[in-house]
Structure 1
Amino acid sequence: MAAPNQLDPYASPRTFYGSELRREREARGWTQEQMGERVFCSGAYIGQFESATRLPQPELSRLLDGILGSGEHFQRLCHLARKTRHAAYFADAAELEQQARTISEYAPMLVPGLLQTEAYARGLTRSALPSASDEEIEGHVRTRLDRAGLIDEPEGPDVWALIHEAALRTPVDGPGVMRQQLLQLSGMGRDHRRVTVQVMPFVEGPHPLMYGTVLLMTFADAPPVAYTESAHSGQLIEEPGVVAKYRRSYDLARAAALSPKASLALIESAAKDYADP
Structure 2
Amino acid sequence: MTKAITDVRERWGAILKERRDAARLTQETLGRALGVKGSAVSNLECGRTSPTEDVLATLDEALGTGDELARLWDDLSRAGKIPWLGQMEDLEKKAASILEFHPFLVPSLLQTTRYATAVMRAVTPWEPPARTEASVRDRIARGERFQSAETPVMMVVIGRAVLMEPVDAGPIMREQLQHIHALAGSERITLQITDEPLHPGLVGPFTVLDPSPDREIVYAESAHKGQFVHDADAVGEFKLRFHRLQAAALSPTRSLRLVEETIEGFPP
- TM tier relative to shorter chain: 0.7 to 0.9
8 Å Cα contact 2:158-2:194 kept in structure 1: yes
Alignment partner of 1:262 is 2:258 = no
The secondary structure found in structure 2 opposite 1:230 is coil
1:245 and 1:61, CA in 2 relative to 1: closer, same or farther beyond 3 A? farther
Deviation at 1:94, TM superposition (A): 3.2
1:135 and 1:262, CA in 2 relative to 1: closer, same or farther beyond 3 A? same
Q: TM-score, normalised by structure 2?
A: 0.73
Show the counterpart of 1:197. 191
Q: TM-score, normalised by structure 1?
A: 0.71
Show the counterpart of 1:115. 110
CA distance in 2, matches of 1:217, 1:143: 21
Alignment partner of 1:246 is 2:238 = yes
Show the counterpart of 1:35. 26
Choose from 125, 134, 138 the match for 1:139: 134
Show the counterpart of 2:124. 129
Q: Which amino acid aligns with 1:193?
A: E
Alignment partner of 1:215 is 2:207 = yes
CA distance in 2, matches of 1:186, 1:131: 32
CA distance in 2, matches of 1:146, 1:170: 26
Number of residue pairs matched by the alignment: 226
Q: Which amino acid aligns with 1:254?
A: Q
Q: Which amino acid aligns with 2:237?
A: K
8 Å Cα contact 2:92-2:211 kept in structure 1: no
8 Å Cα contact 2:193-2:255 kept in structure 1: yes
The secondary structure found in structure 2 opposite 1:132 is coil
8 Å Cα contact 1:64-1:74 kept in structure 2: no
Q: How does 1:11-22 map to 2 (within 5 A)?
A: none
Deviation at 1:225, TM superposition (A): 0.4
Q: Which amino acid aligns with 2:26?
A: M
The secondary structure found in structure 1 opposite 2:26 is helix
Q: Which amino acid aligns with 2:203?
A: Y
The secondary structure found in structure 2 opposite 1:88 is coil
1:245 and 1:74, CA in 2 relative to 1: closer, same or farther beyond 3 A? farther
1:138 and 1:165, CA in 2 relative to 1: closer, same or farther beyond 3 A? same
The secondary structure found in structure 2 opposite 1:180 is helix
Choose from 54, 57, 63 the match for 2:42: 63
1:114 and 1:72, CA in 2 relative to 1: closer, same or farther beyond 3 A? closer
1:32 and 1:177, CA in 2 relative to 1: closer, same or farther beyond 3 A? closer
8 Å Cα contact 1:99-1:219 kept in structure 2: yes
Structure 2: where are the runs of 5+ without partners? 1-11, 31-38, 57-68
CA distance in 2, matches of 1:129, 1:65: 31
